[in-house]
Amino acid sequence: MGLSVLDELPVAERDGLPEADHRLAPTSMDEAARLLDHASELGAQVLVWGGGTHQGMGYRVGPDIVLSCENLTSIVAYEPDDLTVVVEAGVGISVLEALLAEHDQTALLSEVPGIATVGGAIAAGVSGWRRSRFGPTRDRVLQATLVTGDGRVVTGGGRVVKNVTGYDLPRLATGSFGSLGLVAQVCLKLWPLPSTFRTVMVESPEAALDIAFRPMAILETGDGAWCYLGGTSQEVGEQSTALGEHFVDELEWPEPVSADVVVSIRVPPSELRSVLDGLGAGRPYVAQFGVGETTVGLDIGDIDLLPDLRTEVEDLGGALVVTEAPAELYEEFDPWGTPPQTLEIQQRLIARFDPRRVINPGRLPGRI
Amino acid sequence: MSSALAGELRSILGDDGVLDRQLELHVYGKDSGITRGEPSVVAFPESTEDVVAVVKAAKRHGVSVVARGSGTGLAGGAVPLEPSLILALTRMNEIEVVDVENRSAWVGPGVINLDLSNHTYSDGLHFAPDPSSQSVCTIGGNIANNAGGLHCLSEGNTVNHVLALEVVTADGDVIELGGPAPDPIGLDLRAVMVGSEGTLGIVTRALIKLTPNPTAARTLLMSFRSVEDAAKTVSDVIAAGVIPAALEMMDRLMTVAVERFIDAGFPTDAEAVLLAEVSGHEAAVEAEAEIIRAIADDNNAIEARVASDAKERQRMWLGRKSAFGAIAQMNPDYYLHDTVVPRTKLVEMMRNIYEIAERHQITMLNVFHAGDGNLHPLMSFDASEEGVIERVKAAADELLAICVALGGSLSGEHGIGLEKRDSMGLVFNEYDLDAQARISEAFDPDGSMNPNKVLPSGSRCFDFGRPIPEGTWV
C-alpha cells in the first residue's frame, strides 16, 4: 500500500498559515487534484491560501488541510504583443506587475498588493483602484483552470482577448472563494501603461468626475482627494491644468486602510457621498468615486454602528462586507449580510463542482 | 399538443400575441445563420408576468422554449430544434429609466441596441457594444450572445456593460442577478447568464452600464501593399501603448466589393486597408492619431490619412459597415465566419485563409476586428451551384481547426449556437465540456431552455469526479 497523498506532497512553509492537521503545498495542478480528490474521499475541509491578504472575507473555515499556493508560481506564458499573460495562482501580484512593467504593461490588479497573489485576488474577486477607467478584475480574466473539489481539472474561456466560446467560467470563478474549485491558473488580459502619469490633488472628487474624461481613478481619504491621470502627455497636461495646481508626475496611491475592523461598502456611485457623510469624521477610509466603493476602518468598539449602516446600504441595492476583523467579530456580525436571492441556484452550481463541499465550505454568503 | 398550447397562450397574451399558422411559423424557423427548424408556436410577451406564464405553460405541455430578439444572430442560436415555443421578446422594448448620475439604464430585452444609444445621446452617454447590426439587433440578443462590435477593442463585449439582469428561470421563477452597486456578493451568476444563448433562462429586464460619449474622435485610413505590413502596424500600435477605440482591417477583395457598392473612398489597389478610430479627450486623440499615422508610415503605408472632417469620417465608417451589403451584391449567398486568434498570429491565419480559399475554390473576403484578432472570413457563393455547400462547409471546418491550432478560439462575438456546437471539442476536453454542462444543469435541470445549443450532445454523459453524496440538498 502506497503512502497517502497527504504524506507525499511538500509541506507548506509560508509564514502566517493557520493551524491545521496538514499544511501542504502542491507543486502542480495534478498534485492539487490528487490532494482534493483525497480530501473529498476523507470528507476533509480544505482552506486554500495564497498570500493571506483576503482571508478576512467571508465566514470562517476550520480547516483540516491548508492548501498553500506557494509552489504554484509559474509564469506559464507571457506574450506582450498579444497583451495576455498566463500565470499560476501563487504568483505574487507585485512579481507579476514588475515583469509586466518591463514591457510597459499592467494587469491592473491591486496597486498596493503587499504579498497578495494573483489567485487570491481572483478567488476573492477584488479589483484595483484603476477599475474606474478599466473595469473590474473579472473583465480581464480570459481563461481559468480550476481544480474542482472532487479533483477534476477543468478549463473555461481561452487565451485570446475576445471570446464567447461556451459559458463564462472565468468570470464565474472570479469572486467564487474556491467554491467551484481552486483557481489554479488564469490567463489575464493586459493593458499598455500610458506614457505619462499624474496625480492631481482636487478639492471635490465630484467636480473632478465632471472635469476629467474617464480618469484612471478618483480617490478620497481623510487627508484629501486625488484624481489619477494617465495617457499622452498632451492629454494629461490639459486635464491636469483643468483639475488643480498641485500634482506629482507619478501615481501616488494611498495606503490601504488598516484598522481592527475593515469593511468594504458598495453602493450605486451617486450614493457614495451620503454614505461617507453618515460615517462621520475620524475614521480612516479610501473611497472610490465613480465606482461606488469605500473601505472604512473601525475600532472594535465602533462596530455597533455597522448593523444600521448595513441596512441603509442594502436598501440602496449595495452591500457592506467585512474584509478584515478579529476572529470573534464573525460570531457577532455577519461578514456578508443578506444573502442573494439566487442561493438555490448557487448551491446547485457548487454541488456540481465540489459535491462533498471540500474547499472553503460555508465561506460564501448564505453559508454555502 | 401544440394547438392546445396555442389556445392557452392566447388566453394569456391575447390573439395578437400568438402565431401558429404554418406560414407564420416558417418565418420564425431561422435566424440570420444558415440552419432552419420549425417552431410549434410563437409567443409575444409584453411583460415579465407574461414571460412567466408562457414559460410555465410551455413546461406543462412539454415544449421547450427558444428566446428570440430580432433574429440577427448568425450561429443558429434561435433556431428551434425540437417541439419548441419561440419566445419573441421584441415587444418588451421599453427604456424604463435612465439614471444619468449612475450612468445606467433599465431596459427591456426588446430594445434595439442603437435606440438606447440614441435615447441617451443628449445625456452624453451610450451603450458601448456596437455590432454591425446595431440598428436592428436587440439588447436581449446582445446579452444572450455577449455581442461585441467595432468598439469592443477598448470597451469589451456586452458582459462588461451589464450591471444586473432580471431573469425568468426554467421553472418560471423571477430572479435578479447582479445589482446597481459594484461587486455584488455571492457567485457572479450575471456573468454566466450573459452569453448563455438562452440556455439558462430568459432575460426580461437588464440594468445596462452606459459609457460617456467621447468628446473627440479621429478616424484614420491607412492602405498597404501587403497584409503583413497592415498586421505589423496593428501590433506596433498596440505595442506603442495606444488602444484605439476601433482597429479594423479589410483585404483587397473586400475593398473592391465595397467600392463597387458605395463610394467610400477606399483605395482598391492596396492589398490591405486599416481603419482606426481614436476617441476620448481632444488632446489625446490628436496625439494618438499622429502616433498611429507615424507607425503606418514606418510600415510602408501607401497612404495614411486622418479624416479631415465629420463627413469624411462618416464615409469611411459607412464603407466598413456596408461590407455585408456589398457582399450581397456579388452572389446570392454568403457564409460569415467568426473566429479569433492571438493578435500575433494574424498574418499566419490570413495566409491560411487564402490558401484554404484557393484550394476549395471559394471567394473569401476579409473584413475584421484586427485589434483583437477577431477574424470574419466571408465566403461568397451561389448555393445552387453543385457541390458548393460541401466546399463551404469543408473550408469553414478547416478554418476553425487552424484557428484553434494557432491558439485561438471558436467565436469572438457571434456565439456558438448550433453552428459551432459540434466543434466545441476542438477547444475543450471532455472534462471541460462536462463542467460546462454542469453549469447548464444547475440552472435548467430538465434542459427545457433552448435545448441542444452551445454544448454538443453527450457533454454530460460522463461521470467524472465523485458523486454527490446522498441527502445533499441540490
Residue where one domain finishes, among candidates A174, A192, A210: A192
Q: Flag whether residue A266 sits within 8 Å of chain B, measured between CB atoms.
A: yes
Q: How far is A81 from chain B (nearest CA, A)?
A: 6
Residue B365 has pLDDT above 90, yes or no: yes
- Both B341 and B296 in one domain: the answer is no
Q: What percent of chain B clears pLDDT 70, i.e. is strictly above it?
A: 97
Q: Flag whether residue A113 sits within 8 Å of chain B, measured between CB atoms.
A: no
Quick one: cell of A225?
A: 482627494
Select the residue of A235, A337, A339 nearest B287 (Cβ to Cβ).
Answer: A235
In a domain, A254, yes or no: no
- Both B175 and B109 in one domain: the answer is yes
Is A235's CB within 8 Å of B409's CB?
no
CA A50 – CA A117 distance, rounded (Å): 6
Is B374's CB within 8 Å of A162's CB?
yes
Residue B469 has pLDDT above 80, yes or no: no
CA B452 – CA B457 distance, rounded (Å): 7
Average pLDDT, chain A: 96
In the three-class reduction of DSSP (H, G, I as helix; E, B as strand; rest coil), residue B160 is classed as helix
What is the model's pLDDT at position A1? 40
Quick one: cell of A326?
A: 478579529
Q: How far is A113 from chain B (nearest CA, A)?
A: 19
Q: Flag whether residue A215 sits within 8 Å of chain B, measured between CB atoms.
A: no
Quick one: cell of B429?
A: 476536453
Is A317's CB within 8 Å of B181's CB?
yes
Q: Flag whether residue A362 sits within 8 Å of chain B, measured between CB atoms.
A: no
Q: What angle do CA B43, B47, B49 make, to 5 degrees?
A: 90
Residue B1 has pLDDT above 50, yes or no: no
In the block, residue with C-alpha cell 474547499:
A359
User: Residue A307 sits in which domain range?
Assistant: 261-325
pLDDT in tens, A106-153: 999 999 999 999 999 999 999 999 999 999 999 999 999 999 999 999
CA B75 – CA B416 distance, rounded (Å): 6
Residues 172-191 of B with CB under 8 A from A: 175-177, 179-189, 191
In a domain, A180, yes or no: yes
User: Residue B192 sits in which domain range?
Assistant: 95-212
CA A51 – CA A93 distance, rounded (Å): 10
Residues 310-329 of A with CB under 8 A from B: 316-319, 321
Is B407's CB within 8 Å of A160's CB?
yes
Q: Flag whether residue B169 sits within 8 Å of chain A, measured between CB atoms.
A: yes
Residues 65-124 of B with CB under 8 A from A: 99, 101-104
Query: Looking at B242-286, which runs of residues are DSSP E strands?
Result: 246-251, 272-280
Residue where one domain finishes, among candidates B88, B115, B141: B88
Q: Flag whether residue A241 sits within 8 Å of chain B, measured between CB atoms.
A: no
What is the model's pLDDT at position B150? 87
CA A210 – CA A208 distance, rounded (Å): 5
Is B283's CB within 8 Å of A83's CB?
no
Instruction: Give the nearest chain B residue to A38 (CA atoms).
Output: B466
- Both A314 and A213 in one domain: the answer is no
Residue B464 has pLDDT above 80, yes or no: no
Q: Chain A residues with CB inside 8 Å of B294's CB?
A: none
- Both A166 and A214 in one domain: the answer is no
CA B415 – CA A33 distance, rounded (Å): 31
Residue where one domain finishes, among candidates A248, A281, A312: A248
Given CA atoms B11, B12, B16, B17 in this order, what sign does their dihedral have? negative
Q: What are the two backbone dihedrals, phi and then psi, of residue B72, each rounded to the nearest 5 degrees? A: -90, 0
On whether the CB atoms of residues A163 and A142 are closer than 8 A, the answer is: yes
What is the model's pLDDT at position B471? 59
Given CA atoms A230, A233, A238, A240 in this order, what sign does their dihedral have? positive
In a domain, A51, yes or no: no
- Both B292 and B352 in one domain: the answer is no
pLDDT in tens, A53-104: 999 999 999 999 999 999 999 999 999 999 999 999 999 999 999 999 999 9
- Both A185 and A85 in one domain: the answer is yes
Is B412's CB within 8 Å of A164's CB?
yes
Q: CB B122: neighbour CB atoms within 10 A?
A: 9
Long-range interactions of A294-298: CB distance < 8 A, separation 24+: A294/A264, A294/A265, A295/A256, A295/A257, A295/A262, A295/A263, A295/A264, A295/A265, A295/A323, A296/A257, A296/A262, A296/A263, A296/A265, A297/A257, A297/A258, A297/A259, A297/A260, A297/A261, A297/A262, A298/A259, A298/A260, A298/A261, A298/A262, A298/A263
Q: Chain B residues with CB inside 8 Å of A293's CB?
A: 181-183
Q: Chain A residues with CB inside 8 Å of B413's CB?
A: 162, 164
- Both A137 and A82 in one domain: the answer is yes
Which CATH number covers residue A311?
Answer: 3.30.70
In a domain, B464, yes or no: no
- What is the pLDDT averaged over residues B57-84? 95
- Both B307 and B389 in one domain: the answer is no
Which CATH number covers residue B68?
Answer: 3.30.43.10
In a domain, A256, yes or no: no
Residue B80 has pLDDT above 80, yes or no: yes
- Both B360 and B426 in one domain: the answer is yes
Q: Flag whether residue B389 sits within 8 Å of chain A, measured between CB atoms.
A: no
Q: In what order do the strands lie in the sheet with A153-157?
A: A75-79, A84-88, A182-189, A141-147, A153-157
Residue A300 has pLDDT above 80, yes or no: yes
- Both A137 and A206 in one domain: the answer is no
Is B284's CB within 8 Å of A339's CB?
no
- Both B400 and B306 in one domain: the answer is no
Residue A51 has pLDDT above 90, yes or no: yes
Q: How confident is the model at residue B324 (pLDDT cuts 50, 70, 90)?
A: confident
Q: Flag whether residue A258 sits within 8 Å of chain B, measured between CB atoms.
A: no
pLDDT in tens, B242-297: 899 999 999 999 999 999 999 899 999 999 999 999 998 888 899 999 999 999 99
| Residue B110 burial class via C-beta count within 10 angstroms: exposed 0-12, middle 13-18, buried 19 and up | buried
- Both A80 and A92 in one domain: the answer is yes
- Both A278 and A298 in one domain: the answer is yes
Interface with chain B: mutation pick from A165, A177, A236, A288, highest number of B CBs within 10 Å:
A165
- Both A156 and A118 in one domain: the answer is yes
In a domain, B465, yes or no: no
Amino acid, single-letter form, for residue B403: C
Is B436's CB within 8 Å of A269's CB?
no
Long-range interactions of A130-134: CB distance < 8 A, separation 24+: A130/A216, A130/A217, A130/A228, A131/A217, A131/A288, A131/A291, A131/B182, A132/A214, A132/A215, A132/A216, A132/A217, A132/A218, A132/A288, A132/A289, A132/A290, A132/A291, A133/A214, A133/A215, A133/A216, A133/A217, A134/A108, A134/A191, A134/A216
Is B241's CB within 8 Å of A194's CB?
yes
- Both B265 and B350 in one domain: the answer is no
- What's the structural domain count of chain A? 3
On whether the CB atoms of residues B109 and B138 are closer than 8 A, the answer is: yes
Is A156's CB within 8 Å of B416's CB?
no
Is A81's CB within 8 Å of B434's CB?
no
Residue A324 has pLDDT above 60, yes or no: yes
- Both A215 and A291 in one domain: the answer is no
In a domain, B66, yes or no: yes
In a domain, B349, yes or no: yes
Contacts of residue A1, defined as CB under 8 A and 6 or more positions apart, other chains included, come to none
Q: Flag whether residue A211 sits within 8 Å of chain B, measured between CB atoms.
A: no
In a domain, B403, yes or no: yes
Residue B448 has pLDDT above 90, yes or no: yes
- What is the pLDDT averaged over residues A171-191? 98
What is the model's pLDDT at position A256? 95
- What's the structural domain count of chain B? 4
CA B5 – CA A360 distance, rounded (Å): 46
First to last CA, chain B: 32
Which CATH number covers residue B410?
Answer: 3.30.70.2740
Quick one: cell of A70?
A: 506557494
Is B287's CB within 8 Å of A232's CB?
yes
Instruction: Give the nearest chain A residue to B187 (CA atoms).
Output: A176
- Both B108 and B36 in one domain: the answer is no
- What is the pLDDT averaged over residues B70-98? 95
Q: Chain B residues with CB inside 8 Å of A133's CB?
A: none
- Both B272 and B205 in one domain: the answer is no
What is the model's pLDDT at position B364? 94
Q: Chain A residues with CB inside 8 Å of B282's CB?
A: 238
Residue B2 has pLDDT above 80, yes or no: no
- Both B155 and B121 in one domain: the answer is yes
In a domain, A230, yes or no: yes
Chain Cα centroid distance, residue A300 = 24
On whether the CB atoms of residues A178 and A368 are closer than 8 A, the answer is: no
In a domain, A39, yes or no: no
Q: Flag whether residue A248 sits within 8 Å of chain B, measured between CB atoms.
A: no
Average pLDDT, chain B: 93
Select the residue of B169, B191, B372 nearest A162 (Cβ to Cβ).
Answer: B372
Q: How far is A86 from chain B (nearest CA, A)?
A: 13
Interface with chain B: mutation pick from A57, A86, A104, A167, highest number of B CBs within 10 Å:
A167
In a domain, B107, yes or no: yes
In a domain, A269, yes or no: yes
In a domain, B291, yes or no: yes
- Both B246 and B161 in one domain: the answer is no
Q: How confident is the model at residue B460 (pLDDT cuts 50, 70, 90)?
A: confident
Is B413's CB within 8 Å of A164's CB?
yes
- Both A244 and A274 in one domain: the answer is no
Quick one: cell of B191?
A: 456573468
Chain Cα centroid distance, residue B399 = 19
Residue B132 has pLDDT above 90, yes or no: no
How many residues are recorded in chain A? 368
Is A269's CB within 8 Å of B102's CB?
yes
CA A335 – CA A45 distance, rounded (Å): 20
- Both B138 and B102 in one domain: the answer is yes
- Both A128 and A92 in one domain: the answer is yes
What is the model's pLDDT at position B82? 87
Nearest of A363, A357, A361 to residue A40 by alpha carbon: A357
How many residues are recorded in chain B? 474
In a domain, B314, yes or no: yes
Residue B473 has pLDDT above 60, yes or no: no
- What is the pLDDT averaged over residues A18-39? 97
A305: left (phi over 0), alpha (psi -120 to 50) or beta: alpha
Residue where one domain finishes, among candidates A159, A192, A225: A192
Residue where one domain finishes, among candidates B282, B300, B324: B324
pLDDT in tens, B204-252: 999 999 999 998 999 999 999 999 999 999 989 988 888 999 999 999 9
Instruction: Give the nearest chain B residue to A137 (CA atoms).
Output: B183
- What is the pLDDT averaged over residues B324-330? 85
- What is the pLDDT averaged over residues A180-206? 96
Residue A2 has pLDDT above 60, yes or no: no
Q: Flag whether residue A237 sits within 8 Å of chain B, measured between CB atoms.
A: yes
In a domain, A176, yes or no: yes
Residue where one domain finishes, among candidates B212, B235, B252: B212
Is A342's CB within 8 Å of B175's CB?
yes
Q: CB B472: neighbour CB atoms within 10 A?
A: 12
Select the residue of A125, A166, A352 nearest B416 (Cβ to Cβ).
Answer: A166
pLDDT in tens, A241-288: 999 999 999 999 999 999 999 999 999 999 999 999 999 888 999 999
Q: In what order do the strands lie in the sheet with B64-68?
A: B18-19, B41-43, B84-88, B64-68
Quick one: cell of A75?
A: 509564469
Which CATH number covers residue B206?
Answer: 3.30.465.10
Which CATH number covers residue A109?
Answer: 3.30.465.10
- Both A156 and A216 in one domain: the answer is no
